[in-house]
Amino acid sequence: MKRRSLPVAAALAASAALLLTACGGGDDKSSDNDKIAGADQGTETPKESAKPSGAPTEDKPDGVDVSLPKDMNLVFDWNKPKNANEAAAMDDAANFFRAIYRGVDKRTTKDAAVAAYSTGGGLKYAQTQIEAWVEGGWTATGTLRHYDVTTRSAENGTSVEVAFCADSSKFYGKEIKTNKVLTTKPSIEDFDYYKLIMVKYPTSDELWQASKVFVETKAAKCQ
C-alpha cells in the first residue's frame, strides 16, 4: 500500500502506524538483516515501467474480478521464475495486492478477490489495510510500483516466499468527499520491502493465497 497516503496530516498518524505495522499472524519475524537468498540488495532506483507488467491477461484470473479504476495503477516489474509453482505464487501475490486495492475502491473487506487471494494472517492484513482506508474516508490514486522480486520454495512444495520492493512515491491517498489528492514529497518513507508467504489452495493446482505478510518500512535497500 501507499505508506504515506494516510499519514499526510498529523491527525492521520494512528492509522498510519496501523498500516506500517500490520502483518500476518505466526511467529515468523522480519528485520533489516533478514535477507532472502538471491535477493538484490542494491540501492539503485529502478527505472519506471511504461505500463503495468505482470498484470492479468484478463480482469478475471481464476474467475475472480481483480479489475481496478484507471487512476489506480499497480505496476509489477517482475520476471517470472522458471519454477512453475513459484511463477504461479508470484502471479497471485500480485493479485493479492490488486484485491486489497479493489477492496479500497469498493469500500469493503468482503470483495470476492480478497477471499480468493488471502487466508489466515494474509486475510487479516488485507482487511486491516482496507478498513483503515475506508474509515479514513480515502481511496487511492496514482502508480504503485513493485520490483526486485525473489522467490523461494518450501521443501514440501505447498508454500512459496515472494519478496519484493515497493515504491509508492507516485501513489497517493484521495479524499472521497472532496476528491482532494493528498500528495507528499518523495522520501525514504515511500519505499517498503515485503515478504509474502503464499500457500497453494488445497483443491487447486493454480490458485495461491497470501497466508502471512511481513513489511519492512523505510527500506533503504529498495531505493
pLDDT digits 0-9 by tens, 156-209: 888 999 999 999 999 999 999 999 999 999 999 999 999 999 999 988 878 999
Using CA atoms, how far residue 48 sits from 3, 52, 97, in Å, is 19, 10, 19
What does the alpha-carbon distance between residue 186 and residue 204 come to, in Å, rounded to a whole number?
A: 41
User: DSSP character for 105?
Assistant: H
Q: What band does 59 get if pLDDT is binned at 50, 70 and 90? A: low
Q: What band does 43 get if pLDDT is binned at 50, 70 and 90? A: very low
The pLDDT of residue 58: 55
Q: Which residue type occupies 75?
A: V
- Residue 20 pLDDT greater than 70, yes or no: no
Q: What band does 69 get if pLDDT is binned at 50, 70 and 90? A: very high
- Report residue 173 as a C-alpha cell: 491517498
What does the alpha-carbon distance between residue 192 and residue 110 come to, in Å, rounded to a whole number?
A: 26
pTM of the prediction? 0.77
By C-alpha distance, which of 143, 159, 157 is closest to 195? 159
Number of neighbours of residue 44 by Cβ within 10 angstroms: 8
What does the alpha-carbon distance between residue 207 and residue 212 come to, in Å, rounded to a whole number?
A: 16
Q: Which residue type occupies 186?
A: P
- Residue 70 pLDDT greater than 70, yes or no: yes
Cβ atoms of 3 and 189 within 8 Å: the answer is yes
Please state the rounded mean pLDDT for residues 69-73: 96
If you count DSSP H runs as helices and E runs as strands, how many of each does the chain have, helices first? Answer: 4, 6
Give the SS3 label for residue 157: coil
- Report residue 27 as a C-alpha cell: 511467529
